[in-house]
Amino acid sequence: MPATEPLGPMVRIADLRKAHGWSQDQLADRIREHGVQITAAGISNVESGNKQASDRLLTAWAKAFGIDTLNVWHGPLRKPIAPGVPARRQAAR
């Protein structure tokens, strides 16, 4: 059963993995290249919210994606605003 409160950035991590077109096995391989041992099952547990990722794992995760570490911890705080569209109209979308 998933945690009632998010234990980490599981949705953001799953989105990043899928955007790269990687399976959980492929991501596990790339994370292991950065010195952290994890299996596809371990990735699944973090993505589903069943396990909390350590700081060390999240750092390796960011390196595997080639992004800044903070971008793994924190997803976007709000939807980007499209140029020329008033904020009230965007909220209704």
Please count the structural domains in the chain: 1
CA distance 90 to 93: 5
Residue 84 lies in a domain: no
Q: How far apart are CA 8 and CA 45, in angstroms?
A: 11
Inside any domain, residue 16: yes
CATH of the domain at 25: 1.10.260.40
The answer to the question of residue 29 being in a domain is yes
Domain with 56, as residue range(s), is 10-73
Q: Is residue 88 part of a domain?
A: no
Domain annotation covers residue 80: no
Please list, in sequence order, all residues whose beta carbon lies within 8 angstroms of the beta carbon of residue 62, skipping any fewer than 6 positions away: 68, 69, 71, 72
On whether the CB atoms of residues 6 and 49 are closer than 8 A, the answer is: yes
Each residue's pLDDT expressed in tens, for the chain with a length of 93 residues: 444 444 445 557 788 889 889 999 999 999 999 999 999 999 999 888 888 888 899 889 889 988 887 766 655 444 555 666 565 554 555
17 domain-assigned: yes
Please report whether residue 93 resides in a domain.
no
